[in-house]
Amino acid sequence: MGPVLLALVLAVLAWGLVVGDLVRRHSPVWHWYLVRYPATACRVVCTWRKVAQLNDLSVSRRPPRGLLGDLVVKGDPLRPVAPRISFPRATRMGLTVIVRLHAGQTPATFLKAADAFVHAWKVHAVRVTSPERGIVLLTATAMDPLQRPGLATAPAELLSALIGVLESGGAWVMNLRLVPHWLIAGATRSGKSTLLARLITQLAPQPVALVGIDCKGGMELGLFAGRLSALATCRREAVAVLSALMVDMQERMSACRSAGVRSIWELPDKLRPVPVVVIVDEIAELYLSDGTRESKAEAEQCSTLLLRLAQLGAALGLHLVVAGQRVGSDLGPGVTALRAQLGGRICHRVNDPGTAEMTLGDLNKDAVAVAQSITAEERGVAVCTSPDGGWSRARSHLTPTEEAVATARKYVAIVPELPALDSALTAPEGDDK
C-alpha cells in the first residue's frame, strides 16, 4: 500500500499543478484569491516589523524609569516599535493594508519606502495614499494588469473611450460626458501620442465630430485626417478653426435658448447638434511667441478662444483634450487659467517637475510625487484622475500606428459635417473625404 499511496499522492499533486496553471492563465483573478493572496498576506504580516525598521518607519520608545530609594533605575533599552497595521484585505488584483501612524509621522516616509514594500511582499507595485490624518493606506497590485489587457472591459457609451487599464485591474475610461475637458502631459516617448491615437480610434466609430490642432505641421494628428472634420497645422489655422467653433457655439446657445433648455443633451434627438471633440497636440506651440506683434496677437487669440471653449463648451457638446510635453506657468497666465477649466488630468513621465506640478499639483500632492517617479522604461504609464476626485496609476493600451490609421480610414464615411468649419479651412492635404 505504501508505493500505491505515494503514487496516488504524486498524481494528486501533479493534477493540482496542472489545474493551478490553467486557473492562473485563464482566470488570474481566481488564482489570486485562492493561491497568491493567502501567501502574500502572510508575507505582509511576517515581514512588516523588519521592513518598517529598515526603512525608518518605526519609532523608538523611551525606556521606562523607576525610582528605587534614591536611585533612578532604567528599564529595558530602546526598542523600535513599528506602526500598527490592519490585516491585509484582498481586492480583485491585489490587497490593501491600513497603517496607523505614530505621533509625528507623515505619509512622506511611507511613500519613499514603496519600493521596499514591493520587494518584501513580492508584488508588482505598491501605492501609498493618506485618506485621513494619521492613516496611511497601502494598496498593493499583485501583477501588471497590462499583461492581461482583456481583463479590462467597458460598456459602449457615447463620448466614452476605453483607454487602458488601471493599477487595480479595472478599465481606464475617459468619459467626456462626465469629465468634459482633459489635460494630458508627457515627455517624448512617454506614451502621450499613443494615448491620443487610442482616444481617436475609440471615438472614430461614434457619431462625434473630431477636430485636430497640431501645430507641428500635422505630423501626429495628420495621420487621422480622414476622420477629422478639420485639421489645423499652424497657429494661424488654429485661430481660424477655434473662431469657427465660437460661431458654432453661438448657434448651439441659440438652439438651447429657443427650446428653453440649458444643455444640448436636453434637446430632442432630431434637434441635437453633433458633439465635437477638439484635440490639441502640443499646447506650447499655441502660446509661444517669437516677439513680433503678429505672433503675440495670434498667441493671445488662441489663449482667449481655448479658454472660452473650455468655460462654455461642456453643456453645448464641445469638448477639449489638450496635450503637451511641457505645461508650465512660463507659457503665460492663459495656460494657468485654461488648466483650471480642464477637470480631467493625465500625467505621463515628464522632463521637469513644473509640468507635473501644473498637471496634478492643484488636485493632489501625492499624485505629483508618483508621476515624477515614472521611469523611461514605463512607457504608457501615467497618473490619471477619476470623476470622483481621486487618482490612480494607469497604463494605456498599445495601439500601433497602422491600426489607428486603418481605423480612422474605416470610418471616413461617417465624418459629421460642421457648417461653421466648412469655410474656415480648405481640406487638409491627404484628406480622404
Q: List residues forming the annotated binding site for ATP.
A: 186-193
> In angstroms, rounded to a whole number, what is the distance separating the alpha carbons of residues 165 and 145?
6
Which residue, 324, 321, 384, is CA-closest to 187? 324
The one-letter code for the residue type at 205 is P
- Residue 361, helix vs strand vs coil: coil
Sign of the torsion formed by the C-alpha atoms of 305, 310, 312 and 317? positive
> In angstroms, rounded to a whole number, what is the distance separating the alpha carbons of residues 401 and 424?
28
> In angstroms, rounded to a whole number, what is the distance separating the alpha carbons of residues 270 and 382?
39
Local structure of residue 63 (DSSP, 8 states): P
First CA to last CA across the chain, in angstroms? Answer: 80
Half-sphere exposure at residue 355, Cβ-oriented, CA atoms within 13 angstroms? 22
Give the Cβ contact number of residue 12 at 10 Å.
Answer: 10
Q: Say if residues 334 and 303 touch (Cβ distance below 8 Å).
A: yes
Chain centroid to Cα 373, Å, comes to 14
Give the Cβ contact number of residue 399 at 10 Å.
Answer: 22
**Kind of pairing, strands 276-281 and 318-324?**
parallel
**The residue count for the chain:** 433
Residue list, annotated binding site: 186-193
Residues 6+ apart with CB under 8 A from 112: 55
